[in-house]
Amino acid sequence: MQSLSPLDGRYRKKIEALRPFFSEEALIRYRVLVELRYFEALASDSGVKDLKKLNTAQKKSLERIVDRFSLTEAKKVKAIERKTNHDVKAVEYYLKEKVGAIPGLKKQTEFIHFGLTSEDVNNLAYGLMVHDALKEIISPELKQVIGVLNGYAKRWSKIKLLSLTHGQPATPTTIGKEIMVFVDRLKRQEAQLKKFQMQGKFGGAVANYAAHKAAYPKVKWEAFGRKFVKSLGLDPIQNSTQINPHDDIAEVSHNLFRVNTILLDLSRDVWTYISRGVFKQKVIDGEVGSSTMPHKVNPIDFENAEGNFGLSNALFSHFAEKLPISRLQRDLSDSTVQRNIGSAFGYHLLALASLQKGLSKISVDKKAAKKELQDHPEVLAEAIQMVLRKNGVQGAYEKLKKLTRGEAITRKQILEFVDSLELPKAEKQHLKKICRL
């Protein structure tokens, strides 16, 4: 009731699946994971002689810190942050206490966050968050929508539909083909999303391993960094400033922006088909369509989808435009923007839920689709014209233009026109068959 954002209020349950990836607790947990994986990597490098190799018991204890991380533990980190006024430093202090309690590691805790800048931890944490959210939630949901649309396209592949170009009656099509347009578009974006990989920046204050080399000049830190970033499933950035330049966030934002735009286009088309009577909506007992007009069954699911796809795109667009730009070696304006990544994904997921709900309630009104098509026999002009051209009839286009352009003609007039043509009997029969609509 008192939430500022509807994502955490009205729609909280609908986006619950994203909380393990984009909540404040999740961000802290991913930071903890990165710090501990780094500590383990340092311990396994023979060149870092002052940090002993971890034994099996110590490795298990470190793993338990990650596995058992909870909201309670996240609150402990936040309590430290209230003193430090620095979120990553709070994670470091929290882990020093946790790791220091493990037998044999009390004197090794200075290797927590060794040589790192906050961005080394943050960008890797965000990379993992985005990867996991795409894999666990976003890609499966998109796949499901594509599956539903593909099923409808096959089921309605032979149902004829009056097409509209420029809002005017045009060449007949089928409902199945029109839905397949969206299936093909989405599959292309889905394929690009599958190939996408977040990047990982590593290497200290200005990404040249200066602090690392000061402590251990003989260690090949560039190779160490590449290996470590790859171990997290991220693509190592060879050269950067203090920060990940965020081209990866821009890439996934553009990809999801296109997915949103395609689905927004679909939402508007389905809304229009409902308005035309081609699609019917399932009537849910107890639901109300209007506070004053009891007959209304409004296409609100597609309207909600349209609105939330738009909100998601507004954020994704801003990420792509703003995040790749940073003054010199870094400024902090990216930090507060990145914290809203979860909101963009949240509006995307919310829109998908509305769209799928709407799709589950539609069916084709075959009679309405057929009547609409039969009410516009002028759309047969293109087909008749092509048969005339094939048979060498001069001025075929002009003949049909004179008969049909701007005119409300009947099927009877079309058939009479066909009968008047100087064509072989077989061709006339062919045209009459087409005119059956």
Domain ranges in the chain are: 14-114, 119-367, 376-434
Task: For the chain, give percent helix, strand, coil, nearest 5.
Answer: 65, 5, 30
**What per-residue string of b and e applies to 199-216 under the rule 16 or more CB within 10 Å gives b?**
bbbbbbbebebeebeeeb
Mean pLDDT of the 212-233 span: 98
Q: Which of 157, 187, 51 is closest to 111 using CA atoms?
A: 51
In sequence order, what are the residues at sequence separation of 6 or more whose Cβ sits closer than 8 angstroms to the Cβ of residue 336? none
Per-residue model confidence as pLDDT tens digits over 294-319: 665 788 999 999 999 999 999 999 99
pLDDT of residue 283: 76
- Answer whether CATH 2.60.40.2250 is correct for domain 376-434: no
Portion of the chain with pLDDT greater than 70, in percent:
97
Q: List the catalytic residue out of 290, 333, 360, 363.
A: 290
Mean pLDDT of the 63-70 span: 98
Element (H, E) at 190: helix 175-195
- Residue 368's pLDDT band (cuts 50, 70, 90): very high
pLDDT of residue 410: 87
In sequence order, what are the residues at sequence separation of 6 or more whose Cβ sits closer than 8 angstroms to the Cβ of residue 184? none
pTM for the whole thing? 0.94
**Max Cα–Cα distance, the chain, nearest Å:** 101
Alpha carbon distance 377, 420 (integer Å): 17
- Asked if residue 88 has pLDDT above 70, the reply is yes
- Asked if residue 349 has pLDDT above 80, the reply is yes
Mean pLDDT of the 50-55 span: 96
**Cα dihedral value 416, 422, 426, 430, nearest 10:** -50
pLDDT of residue 293: 67
pLDDT of residue 294: 67
Alpha carbon distance 269, 263 (integer Å): 10
Would you tell me the crossing angle of helices 247-276 and 139-155 to the nearest 10 degrees? 30
- Residue 291's pLDDT band (cuts 50, 70, 90): low
pLDDT of residue 49: 95
Q: List the catalytic residue out of 46, 166, 291, 420.
A: 166
pLDDT of residue 348: 98
- Answer whether CATH 2.60.120.1440 is correct for domain 14-114: no
pLDDT of residue 165: 96
Tell me if residue 290 is catalytic.
yes
Query: Position of tokens 């352009």?
Result: 405
**pLDDT mean across residues, the chain:** 94
| Side-chain half-sphere CA neighbours of 301 within 13 A | 19
**Cα dihedral value 360, 365, 368, 371, nearest 10:** 130
Please check whether residue 246 is in contact with residue 324, taking contact to mean a CB–CB distance below 8 angstroms: yes
Portion of the chain with pLDDT greater than 90, in percent:
82
| Homologous superfamily, domain 119-367 | Fumarase/aspartase (Central domain) (1.20.200.10)
DSSP annotation string for 194-249:
HH---EE--STTTTS-HHHHHH-TTS-HHHHHHHHHHHTT-EE-SS-SSS---HHH
Tell me if residue 166 is catalytic.
yes
pLDDT of residue 288: 63
DSSP annotation string for 36-92:
HHHHHHHHH-TT-TTSPPPPHHHHHHHHHHHHT--HHHHHHHHHHHHHHS-HHHHHH
**Topology agreement, domain 14-114 and domain 376-434:** no
Mean pLDDT of the 332-353 span: 96
- Beta carbons within 10 angstroms of residue 383's beta carbon: 16
